[in-house]
Structure 1
């Protein structure tokens, strides 16, 4: 083999290696606000000069104003989205003013009669002119066929995006088609198997994907964004551009990995490429954590300082911390958490469910599973003293009762404090939950009660 041939073979090998490294791929980034970013890479054979490229398998719910096509050495001249789909009704509408062929079959002898007809109207029925007479195309049991010469250019079997480009050179190259679409959504669901005696739970996370966009996404790298992206309202073009920039910014950084922070959002990458078929609901596992430290808590919350004439039930929650130390390695997207416990026979039984919000690492999760009617709390305002025009002192008594055969701890939450609110005295040690909330852990003996008293001063 000559030197020139060797150089040519080497150049071809390098070219193929470059194409393999940049192999076409499809990625879909799905947001919470019925928005998804599709980034579709394709290997196209593009001629030199002006030409029209057609993409027939794009979403039917595409937002045409968000489409971009990028490839080496091309410029985009014009783009059109044809969503007028080929149906019998649409075909007849497009034939108005044109000639078609009508074929009628006699049900008695099977004889066919063929006539030429001009379509005059296709509104609430089809009106035809056949020779010198006007007829309405009947919709009865008489077999009738309408034959058209061709399919109109603007009717498509599938939604089609056409882009007119001007190419500086001919040849095969990688092109990226990007657009926003509606019709794709996701949600998270969790299954927690709780062992109260061991104070642990096993947690599974599932992502449910739904596709009603009008197109399948085959072998797609799929990312999910937790958080609400700003979308412009109205027709102002500059506002739409700003909203699109925010969405694209989130999509382009998807390689940061599952559960990674992305600005003010969290992004999760599914572990494998997946196919999301049209009109399909698909579930994909994304989390498995065993032995997460957890315990059952009886919780009672008050939003303000008030007296209650009757005791009310505490709620039962399963409490755990979303941290690496607990066996969880990422933020948890919002969703429904369903809790199960094993019965005396060892069979898992459903005990309750609750919605959780987007939960970053380090956050405490309290999943409500029901009401504890044998654990109650009754608040009483024993004194309310006006200190000044803007400040008040409240004296509170809380009686926590436990009708169970074992002791419990009631986690009391008292809201209603302003930022400079302070505890003046208390019978049990409190802790600050947030700027407006105090918390107490109240131990209550079996078949007994505990009284918590405290004075707070708050205002502005």
Structure 2
């Protein structure tokens, strides 16, 4: 711990400089970055380089610190790659001291009383959890004891870099300038969509604003880059596991939009070149729609036939379609949708948020914003009868109550049906939502209640 405290305050002086390889020529780069949803980006850097004939070493500084070296590709006319190395051991006080183990350094201490400096030559014995030095015949632990101290090194080790550096050994047919393209995949760059929805319940409409949020945790800034985003899940070995379902999408759409595609993904190019700074989140608008038809609904979802000891609050959701006829007509990349409503004074108030998966145009969406305060349901299993070895009959009763001064309709979903499940009796007409789910639209009067009863038979 002494080492960390000291090196954070002491000045480190390097007498020499690290050897330099050939670098990019000083021409304006043509940098493009293609960012995918799953913590992945393709970087393509086009520049003119000055080549010597024969074998030589090129160094590319400021590549991503999270580069995937196995994906690097360097191409130029008359150029062949012999070997490439990615040096990510960055120059820090700790690393510099670690590399000096077994070597001599100079320790310069300043007397706080008279300002006189004392210089001693020391051999670094260890730099693990503190720096251990041999000075003459004594062993000393370098520590932060309030005495101003500098450590002077002869040079920077060749393996330490001030910035992440890709070094490539190449063979060139001839000397002279040549246009070259360096491309690689990197992690640490990602993007998602963020949506702001202003819902007007009285008008049955919402205004929707879409933002692209870029995140850069790659350790490197990408300056003045042509940037485009890919919406969709590109298969990689890193993301080959379970994919979270898109629970906001109630029904998939069948419409197309005018957005550019590549393979089965949509492209979202940013309109202007942009700088994506390291450790930065950047937002860019990409969608704006007003007056999209929408409605508020109350939902009750049950997965099995069982009684409830206490009433259960209904879920509140805002339902709308991103179809053209509904006023939107665009696919929605995965992200988070935040919903607001205006209070009596006209000020917007946040009422909830929900994740949205990649959603094709023309889909039906249900954005769940929270639980209702005044709308509840309580289930009672009236009877559970074994009809045969593989079939059972369930008689259910739902008491739905509404403490609001306006009537509401509650969308009740009952899961638990198996093969050959059938409704035998019901107080309200049901509809089949999917193979295992029944649905009822239950009208409940203002400050009142409605009882729904039904009997189903199901088997396996």
TM range (shorter): 0.7 to 0.9
Alpha-carbon displacement from aligned partner over 1:203-247 (angstroms, at most 9, x marks no partner): 1122322222110012231314443734259xxxxx9xxxxxxxx
Q: CA deviation at 1:47?
A: 3.0
- Indicate the RMSD between aligned Cα atoms, in angstroms: 3.1
Q: Give the TM-score of the pair, scaled to structure 1.
A: 0.79
Q: Is the 8 A contact 2:37 2:192 kept in 1?
A: no
**Aligned partner (choices 227, 230, 237) of residue 233 of structure 2:** 227
Give distance in 2, aligned partners of 1:73 and 1:306.
75
The 3 A distance-change label for structure 1 pair 311 and 171 is: same
Of residues 385-394 and 101-110 in structure 1, the stretch that sits farther from structure 2 once superposed is 101-110
Q: Is the 8 A contact 2:35 2:190 kept in 1?
A: no
The 3 A distance-change label for structure 1 pair 262 and 394 is: farther
State the match for 1:94 in structure 2. Answer: 99
Alpha-carbon displacement from aligned partner over 1:138-189 (angstroms, at most 9, x marks no partner): 6444444343333222221111110111123334333332323332333332
Give distance in 1, aligned partners of 2:60 and 2:29.
18
Q: CA deviation at 1:259?
A: 8.1
* Structure 1 unaligned residues grouped into runs of 5+: 1-21, 234-238, 240-255
Matched pairs, number: 415
Alpha-carbon displacement from aligned partner over 1:91-118 (angstroms, at most 9, x marks no partner): 3333344444454545454444555555
Alpha-carbon displacement from aligned partner over 1:316-346 (angstroms, at most 9, x marks no partner): 2111112222233433233332221112222
State the match for 1:402 in structure 2. Answer: 402
Q: CA deviation at 1:452?
A: 3.1
**Aligned partner (choices 149, 157, 162) of residue 154 of structure 2:** 149
State the match for 1:345 in structure 2. Answer: 345
Q: CA deviation at 1:77?
A: 1.0
SS of the equivalent of 1:324 reads: coil
Is 1:371 the equivalent of 2:377?
no
Q: Is the 8 A contact 2:122 2:133 kept in 1?
A: no
Give distance in 2, aligned partners of 1:324 and 1:227.
24
Q: CA deviation at 1:135?
A: 5.8
**Aligned partner (choices 172, 175, 182) of residue 177 of structure 1:** 182
Is 1:31 the equivalent of 2:37?
yes
Give distance in 2, aligned partners of 1:135 and 1:322.
71
* Structure 2 unaligned residues grouped into runs of 5+: 1-27, 241-256
Q: CA deviation at 1:394?
A: 2.9
State the match for 2:83 in structure 1. Answer: 78
Is 1:432 the equivalent of 2:432?
yes
The 3 A distance-change label for structure 1 pair 127 and 454 is: same
State the match for 1:320 in structure 2. Answer: 320
Give distance in 1, aligned partners of 2:44 and 2:258.
17
Q: Is the 8 A contact 1:443 1:450 kept in 2?
A: yes
Give distance in 1, aligned partners of 2:150 and 2:204.
73
State the match for 2:7 in structure 1. Answer: none
Give distance in 1, aligned partners of 2:419 and 2:65.
51
State the match for 1:166 in structure 2. Answer: 171
Q: Give the TM-score of the pair, scaled to structure 2.
A: 0.79
Give distance in 2, aligned partners of 1:282 and 1:314.
37
Q: Is the 8 A contact 2:64 2:219 kept in 1?
A: yes
Give distance in 2, aligned partners of 1:277 and 1:364.
37
The 3 A distance-change label for structure 1 pair 329 and 451 is: same
State the match for 1:250 in structure 2. Answer: none
Q: CA deviation at 1:309?
A: 4.6
State the match for 1:59 in structure 2. Answer: 64
SS of the equivalent of 2:304 reads: coil
Q: Is the 8 A contact 1:426 1:455 kept in 2?
A: yes
Give distance in 1, aligned partners of 2:176 and 2:229.
32
Give distance in 2, aligned partners of 1:316 and 1:138.
61
SS of the equivalent of 2:96 reads: helix
